[in-house]
Structure 1
Amino acid sequence: MTTTMHRRLDEALAAGTDLLLTDLRCPEALLTEGAPAGAPVDADGTASVDLLLRAGRIAAVAAPGGAAAGAPRLSLGGRHVWPMLVDAHTHLDKGHVIGRAPSSGGTHPGAREATTRDRIAHWRHDDLIHRMDFGLSCAEAHGIAAIRTHLDSHEGQGETVWGAFAEIREAWKGRVALQASALVPFDAWGTDYAERLANIVADHGGLLGGVTRPSGGTHGGLADIDALLDRVFTLAKERDLDLDLHVDEAAEADALPHVARATIRHGYEGRVTCGHCCSLSRLPEPEMDATIALAKEAGLSLITLPTVNMYLQDRLPGRTPRWRGVMPIHELRAAGVPVAVAGDNCRDPFYAYGDHDMLDTWREAVRICHLDHPFAGSAGLAGTAPAEICGFEAGSLGAGRRADFMVLEAWSLDQLIARPQSDRVLVRQGRVLDLRAPSYEELRLTRTEAQVEPA
């Protein structure tokens, strides 16, 4: 954003009075009530609106000229204004260990092995707090209002990681809203540890979860998946906990129909989220359609992780990947299945890159998944959709909501996607935030800590 506009916005908000922001644009999918009556909506689904701000909240969203007269005004010159966004699937406990963990080779098995070794060697309370805090500082600086993280909860470490999460959730209260789901290989739910883990999660107000593969194995290798699903659903029902599962993160796997049928069997419709579901897009069309219909019947919500799954899936040395690793978003949305886009891993063995920036994740998702021509409400996949799946009050602009939003140096969605929007201006509760992403200097480790030598 130009220095002049940034300064004018800062000064106008700092006055502390009602303020009418005029001549701004927001995708209709990111407005809580959709476009207000009389507001022009362009071919990309972007509405021209005014925002009336009062005491740190949005008092009204109106068509141009339709809000209360008399309040001081500031024109944003037609710029895009978006709510702060929601990351419904990430891994704060794994993040920012690149350079410390062993190399993964960019493969899923390599990432599991490297993460296991890093976890055993380093995941103590202070290490978890330090890296989670760094990740949240990145997210906050990029305009993320809420995050659901998955937490590796292996026996012997569940208490440690959930204790660290509880501390960091309290420290970040009011800045980034946090939820957590337990992550273990699915056969862990058939062990004596299962009930203790369920109690740990319940004590911290989390979700039960897991990855639909056995310990040390691959997706598609669970012969007793139905019995394990019955066990985890029973534990969840006894504690009134929702579920968030890693499902079918492979080219060929078949857990999703089992999850859907278990959801129906246990009366848990609307309370189960499934991430990844990569193999769904590789099924023959009739089988894919039947599975999508079953997911709809079960009330499942699905979350796709496009950047990470493109990084991991179909990777073989010296061979160009043949497929993208993402779930069939268009078909799922057409069938009425709730779908969201999320960031997943960040600078760890499962994904060596990223910065907890959901605007960037959404921009990549548009290109990877062909969510344009037309955009058809795709902006909601990073805002309203994940907020509804997780139950966060974030991800949209509406009357009565906190005045939390970002002003972008873009006048159209193609401009917004073309540039990284690194000059976005963040506003929280009606005040401009002076934030920058934390320096990597904060992650510097001693030479001994920074290396895990191969065994």
Structure 2
Amino acid sequence: MTTGFARLPDAPAYRLTDLCVPACLIEGADVAGDRNGLARVDLTIADGRIEAITPAGAAPGGAQPWFSLDGGMALPRLVDCHTHIDKGHIWPRSPNPDGTFPGALAAVGADREANWSERDVRTRMDFSLRTAFAHGTAALRTHLDSLGAQIGISWPVHAELRAEWAGRIAVQASPLFGADAALDPAHMAAVVAAVRAHGDKLLGCVTYMIPELDRALDILFRAAIENGFDLDFHVDETNDPSARSLEHIADAALRHRFTGRILCGHCCSLGLQAPADEARIIAKVREAGIAVVSLPMCNMYLQDRQPGRTPRWRGVTALHELKAAGVPVMIASDNTRDPFYAYGDLDLVEALREGTRILQLDHSGPDWADAVARTPADTMGLRGAGRIAVGAAADLILTRARDWTELFSRPQADRTVLVSGRAIDRTLPDYRELDHLMASAT
């Protein structure tokens, strides 16, 4: 028996007792949640998998060693469906000069041209994956800047790292370029070839209200259909309510009768539409089968920023309204220590905590933990991830917090992460490891 977090049983079979788990993330067990959506359970673990989930105190007896969480919360390892680990951690050498979206675009573009060699990209991406793994991430989708020569650099690096991290983090990638670039046949051919050779059957771009937007979307949808790709878009990352490319994406999906998965990120301007326009767009999004991910930390950092003026809105999309309409909704990390967001650590516990505050997810239903677990896993085609299920791998995040307010009041830096029932080393990589990349162009 162990009554603290100092040591887990070192045995092929053991029990975790008196866990507090979000009921929305439990599968294969007849347990009920309380008014906060939390269920008290015991888990029986054998050979790295969850053998049984029973109400706390009702687990069968036996010779297995057991470990009490004393009511502490447990989550499955979480799923980060929107990141940018190819540009992560460049802030020390390329900070955003004014904190604005145009400032971020210019700083990243200049840094990419000067510094993004194979060595540079690989080192920073691996650093990011090590960080995410230590925090308890099971799967991660990154967007890869896919312009010109960078296509031939970043995509092979992604394929190598995906293979190296298999079994620890499931890594996916989607190409990132402006919608206008989709109009260039040579560019599209290069991107499709890179995805086919090194990618994960994903295609996408940044959409904005160019005159040729519908033609660009038709090109992307046709390429996705011809190649069996899913789609992932950056959408309307602006406080301009006239930006309605989300509606154009929904129209294109319906026009092409697209049957693959579509994920749209940001969608900030949706939150500034007149009620009738918002309702119309959301209805189309639901009909088209589009899922939406909010990036609350990055959006609050960039949106509505003006020198000397206090921001008037939080920068996030209409996530409550989308969810109420039946649209799958998610929260993710987005950028990490780069010109688009100066902070962050690819920690989805932090993303859920800050998302709860920014988006006011409390007092609005007990199942928002889905947004960093089951829903993104399903959207990424990872059906076994993001849940605590009988027969699934014992991939868990264990904390001392006994309810949501305790979980969100502290960073949970003392959490324990289990992969296949075994505690991992949670030592985070030191930023000093990247110093050699920050001094000058590589």
- State the TM-score bracket (shorter-chain normalisation): over 0.9
What is the identity, as a one-letter code, of the residue corresponding to 1:64? Answer: A
Q: Is 2:18 aligned against 1:23?
A: yes
What is the Cα deviation at residue 446 of structure 1? 6.3
Kept after mapping to 2: 8 A contact 1:195/1:235:
no
| Structure 2 residue 142 is the aligned partner of structure 1 residue 146 | no
2:221 alignment partner AA: F
CA apart distance, 1:425 = 0.7
1:217 equivalent in structure 2? none
Q: Which amino acid aligns with 1:5?
A: G
The partner residue of 1:51 within 39, 43, 59 is: 43
Asked whether the equivalents of residues 265 and 293 of structure 2 are also in contact (C-alpha less than 8 Å), the reply is: yes
Partner Cα separation in structure 1 for residue 360 and residue 42 of structure 2: 30
Q: Which one-letter code corresponds to 2:217 in the other structure? A: L
Q: Deviations 1:360-404 (Å, cap 9, x if unpaired)?
A: 000000001110025421111111111111112321110111111
Show the counterpart of 1:226.
214
Paired AA for residue 136 in structure 1: L
CA deviations 1:307-348 (Å, max 9, x no partner) are: 000000010100111111111111111100000000000000
Instruction: Identify which of 350, 365, 368 aligns with 1:360.
Output: 350
CA distance in 1, matches of 2:151, 2:218: 22
Runs of 4 or more, structure 1, over 3 Å off, are 65-68
SS of the equivalent of 1:445 reads helix
- Alpha-carbon deviation of 1:156? 1.9
Offset at residue 59 of structure 1 (A)? 0.9
User: 1-side partners of 2:280 and 2:176: how far apart?
Assistant: 28
Question: Which residue of structure 2 lines up, in the alignment, with residue 5 of structure 1?
Answer: 4
CA shift digits 1:254-294 (9 cap, x unpaired): 10111001111112145111000000010011110111000
Q: Which amino acid aligns with 2:255?
A: R
1:386-440: per-residue Cα shift (whole Å, max 9, x none)? 1111112321110111111011010111100010100001111111112211111
1:320 aligned partner: 310
User: How many residues are aligned here?
Assistant: 435
Partner of 1:394: 385
1:127-178 alpha-carbon deviations (Å, 9 max, x no partner): 0110001001110110011000000000221111101111111111111110
SS in 2 for 1:200: helix
Shift in alpha-carbon separation, 1:204–1:32, aligned structure 2, 3 A: farther
What amino acid is aligned across from residue 148 of structure 2 in structure 1? E
Distance 2:234 2:165 in 1: 26
Give the 5 Å matches for 1:344-423.
344-392=334-382, 393-423=384-414
Separation of aligned partners in 2, 1:394 and 1:171: 19
8 Å Cα contact 1:20/1:71 also seen in 2: no
2:56 and 2:392 map into 1 onto residues whose CA distance is 20
Q: What TM-score do you get using the length of structure 2 for normalisation?
A: 0.95
Matching residue within 410, 416, 439 for 2:430: 439
Residue number in structure 1 paired with 2:207: 212
Cα distance change on mapping 1:326 and 1:447 into 2, 3 Å:
closer
Q: Using the alignment, how far apart are the partners of 2:122 and 2:44 within structure 1?
A: 38
Paired with 2:314 and 2:91, the residues of 1 have a C-alpha distance of 24
**More displaced stretch, 334-343 vs 268-277:** 268-277
C-alpha separation in 1, matches of 2:350 and 2:441: 28
Counterpart residue type for residue 6 of structure 2: R
Cα separation, 1, equivalents of 2:156 and 2:298: 27
Partner of 2:196: 202
Given the superposition, is the C-alpha separation of residues 401 and 294 from structure 1 closer, same or farther in structure 2, using an over 3 Å criterion? same
**Amino acid corresponding to residue 15 of structure 1 in structure 2:** A
Partner of residue 216, structure 1? none
2:230 matched to which residue of 1? Answer: 242
Greater mean alpha carbon deviation, residues 304-313 or residues 58-67: 58-67
Instruction: Give unpaired runs (5+ residues) of structure 2.
Output: none
Contact 2:82 2:142 in 1 (8 A): yes
CA 1:240–1:402 in 2, change beyond 3 Å: closer, same or farther? same
Provide the identity percentage. Answer: 46
Instruction: Quote the offset at 1:108 in angstroms.
Output: 0.4
1:428 pairs, out of 409, 419, 434, with: 419
Report the 3-state secondary structure (helix = DSSP H, G, I; strand = E; otherwise coil) of the residue aligned with 2:147: coil
Tell whether the 8 Å contact from 1:44 to 1:374 is kept in structure 2 after alignment.
no
The answer to whether the Cα contact below 8 Å between 2:86 and 2:121 also exists between their aligned partners in 1 is yes
Q: Which amino acid aligns with 1:234?
A: R
* More divergent stretch after superposition (242-251 vs 386-395): 386-395
Cα distance in 2 for partners of 1:381, 1:335 equals 15
Shift of 1:64: 2.4
Rounded Cα–Cα distance in structure 1 between residues aligned with 2:141 and 2:409 = 28
